[in-house]
Amino acid sequence: MPSVTESALEASFAIPAVSVQHLFKSFKGQPALQDVGLTVGVGEMVALVGASGSGKSTLLRNLNGLQQAERGTVEIFGSPLQIDGKLHSKARQLRSQMGFIFQQFNLVNRLTALENVLVGNLSQTSMMRSLIRGFSQQEKLKALTALERVGILNQAYQRASSLSGGQQQRVAIARCLMQGAQIILADEPIASLDPESARKVMELLTHLNEDEGITVITSLHQVQMVRRYFKRAVALRDGVVRFDGAIQDLNDQRLSDIYGAAAKELVLSGHAEIFTASQV
């Protein structure tokens, strides 16, 4: 007989965090996603791999409704977010459970790290209103706690523009925590970072996943990084899922079968020096 805790755990895995079925998306008649299906369990950490133009960003943007597909469904925690190109009435509520991290951080440069976390993903108008109105002690405490969690409490009152790329990305992650995101979608979160900052950001995402059960879906170019930090990878090529499975099965031969000569771009690009220098 399973214990109560085991049953609760099984139940939490029964409804996936993200479920995508038969997703089709094109730009000016050119397919970007073709019949994409994907299921990500609650608390999983999954890498989207693929050469440039393979559809990783498009898929991530469709997962939170930043873009809408022509056909197919996206469900979040079992509730539809988009069906055949239409956002569901619950989309806004579902999106509030998802944080999105961009390659270029998307912070407001003239605001401090703390203010960026406080305004979170508010629209421009709501952001101005909130800044004028001010924030409660409780909100500030929550934002400071989020900054502490990502290791940059000391920079709370520095303008975003004066922070390093790695620090800015950590502010972006703190913003997700402030928002109470249960799912973090990260689009090439380390592509603009130096190797050491990239390592710190990947470790932070791993800890949030392992310690707080946040589901993480990240697009990455660098296969070395994927092998180091992920158990599962989904490889896209020309908008088609060509592999979905355990990372150890996505070996160099498999990559070369999927991408041909372009596999080199994935194996050799960016941050490999971290592994040669300190990890391997």
Ligand X SMILES: Nc1ncnc2c1ncn2[C@@H]1O[C@H](COP(=O)(O)OP(=O)(O)OP(=O)(O)O)[C@@H](O)[C@H]1O
Is 139 or 238 the residue whose CB approaches ligand X more closely?
Answer: 238
Residue 52 binding ligand X, by CB under 6 A: yes
**42-56 burial, b for 16+ CB within 10 Å, e for fewer?**
bbbbbbbbbbeebbb
| Number of residues binding to ligand X, judged by CB under 6 A | 10
Tokens 């999927």 -> residue: 258
The nearest distance, CB 107 to ligand X, in angstroms, is 20
Is 54 or 179 the residue whose CB approaches ligand X more closely?
Answer: 54
Choices 53-61, 82-90, 105-113, 245-253 (CB under 6 A): range interacting with ligand X: 53-61
CA distances from 154 to 17, 138, 160 (A): 34, 19, 13
Among 16, 55, 72, 166, indicate the residue that binds ligand X (CB under 6 A): 55
Q: What is the DSSP letter of 221?
A: S
The nearest distance, CB 106 to ligand X, in angstroms, is 15
Provide CB contacts within 8 A for 259, sequence distance 6+: 51, 237, 265, 266
Is 99 or 270 the residue whose CB approaches ligand X more closely?
Answer: 270
d(CA 150, CA 145): 9
CB-based contact 243:233 (threshold 8 Å) = yes
User: What separation, in Å, do the N-terminal and C-terminal C-alpha atoms of the chain show?
Assistant: 43
CB-based contact 246:231 (threshold 8 Å) = yes
d(CA 263, CA 50): 9
**What residues between 57 and 86 interact with ligand X by CB under 6 A?**
57-58
Residue 182 binding ligand X, by CB under 6 A: no
Label the pairing between strands 215-220 and 30-40: unpaired
Choices 45-53, 93-101, 155-163, 242-250 (CB under 6 A): range interacting with ligand X: 45-53
Is 28 or 133 the residue whose CB approaches ligand X more closely?
Answer: 28
2-41 footprint of ligand X as x/- string (CB under 6 A):
-------------------------x----x---------
Interacting residues toward ligand X by CB under 6 A: 27, 32, 50, 52-58
